[in-house]
Amino acid sequence: MDLQLLGLSFITVFLAEIGDKSQLAAIALGGSSKYPRAVFFGSTVALVLASFLGVIAGGGVAQFLPEKILKTIAAIGFAVMALRLVWCSDSE
């Protein structure tokens, strides 16, 4: 196992998940539930499943497209999202 890749994946996902909608939903559910352990296990399984599907999809796409094209598509996608956040956030 590549420990450097493991650490990078952990840090990337951990930082991306802090304060996102799923964490806020877990906080709301955990605070209003009599069974916070059930909320913890449910949200943990959901995150693991979503990550698993992302890895499987990424591996499948990588079979057809070279890494450089995938990185270019990802960069363009993130740039488009950033521009939409900057331009569209004022209109709401």
pLDDT of 11-62, one tens digit each?
A: 988 888 887 888 888 889 999 999 999 999 999 999 999 999 999 998 898 8
Q: Structure pTM?
A: 0.65
Distance between CA atoms of 92 and 87, rounded to whole angstroms?
Answer: 10
Distance between CA atoms of 54 and 47, rounded to whole angstroms?
Answer: 10
Q: Under 8 Å CB-to-CB from 62, ≥6 apart: which residues?
A: 70
